[in-house]
Amino acid sequence: MNPTEWRTYLVTQESRSAGRETAAVVEAALSGGVDAVQLREKGRPARERYELGRRLRDLTADAGVPLIVNDRIDLAAAVDADGVHLGQSDLPAEIARGRLGDEAIVGVSASTVPEARAAAEAGADYLGVGAVYRTGTKDVPDETNGVGPERVAAIADAVDLPVVGIGGIDAGNAGAVTAAGAAGVAVVSAVTAAADPRAAAAELREVVGDGR
């Protein structure tokens, strides 16, 4: 479960899953070899996210893959997730650590070197860096929507934490992200919207493995 070993990291979003339920997409992606799953599903009621989180907890536990919850420390605790991923506007990493314990995986989004250094000082276990390429998957300020592999390289050089590139990444450009110093890549649509999520996850894992 060490983030330094993650190659492919699936972030869920049912609205970009071609009409399929998130649990079905996650199950297929796990069979394709994803190394981590993040429950995102922003906009869904907390009760629905909790129920989905319990289902994903079972799937990921069976596969031996960590489950991370986006933003919500309380939800991560409620579904017995392995950790939480926090944005710059969320509660600080040290709060998550205090609530979830020393064994929890705490990830933090960073798009600049100062943000990355602050996250490292706060005790983050890994960084989600991006958006590497321009993306419409979520609201991203223009100044950080498409920071490029160059920013990944700058952040990877600045901190002693594994970096996961995110934003607009697919099998066609993932190699450039790992070549810049990322341990792995996080994706939404490249897997969730694929005709065959299992095959898409397997292809992405192969590309990232070749680039590491």
Give the residue numbers marked as catalytic: 40, 109, 138
Does 41 show up as a binding residue in the annotation? yes
112 labeled binding residue: no
Q: Is 138 annotated as a binding residue?
A: yes
Q: Is 71 annotated as a binding residue?
A: yes
Q: How far is CA 130 from the centre of its chain?
A: 11
Was 13 annotated as part of a binding site?
no
C-alpha torsion sign, points 169, 170, 172, 176: positive
Cα 16 to Cα 51: distance, rounded to the nearest angstrom:
19
131, 143 Cβ separation under 8 angstroms: no
139 three-class SS: coil
Question: Does 135 appear as a known binding residue?
Answer: yes
Beta strands (DSSP E) in 23-66 are: 36-39
The answer to whether 188 is a known ligand-binding residue is: yes
Q: Which residues are annotated as a binding site for Mg(2+)?
A: 71, 90
Q: Which residues are annotated as a binding site?
A: 38-42, 70-71, 90, 109, 135-138, 168, 188-189
